[in-house]
Amino acid sequence: MSSTKLYLRVERRNQTFCLLCETSDTIASLKTQLALAASQHSTDGVDADQMRLLLDTTVLEDDSTIAGLELKDDAVLYLVYAVADNEYESVDVVSTAFQEG
């Protein structure tokens, strides 16, 4: 089976990271890419092992692959950081969509 390239959107608070990935990539490799990207946008970098990725409310395991999770092009994942031993912040995404009110 050949690996296919696709984009994934990863959201955290008011940030969105767009990652070019291959279906053979693991969640651990995505977290490594995110740690590098986050360190370029912030002075307080976070290590990949202090990150958790979620699909809706499901925590994604580091050894899972994009293909194994059946993620599609432009899928949205959520990023949270560790705040204490084995505790992570809640998903907090600021919508940039226009809302009538």
pLDDT at 97: 54
Q: How many other C-beta atoms are found inside a 10 Å radius of the C-beta of residue 74?
A: 10
Eight-state DSSP code of residue 93: B
Of residues 56, 33, 58, the one with CA closest to residue 46: 33
**pTM confidence score:** 0.84
Residue 76: what residue type?
Answer: V
For 42, the 3-state DSSP assignment is coil
**pLDDT tens digit string along 6-57?**
999 999 988 899 999 999 999 999 999 999 988 887 766 789 999 999 999 9
> Domain containing 39: what range?
5-88
Retrieve residue 39's tokens: 């360190």
- Mean pLDDT (whole number) for 45-74: 95
81, part of any domain: yes
> Considering the domain boundaries, does residue 41 fall inside one?
yes
Query: How many independent structural domains does the chain possess?
Result: 1
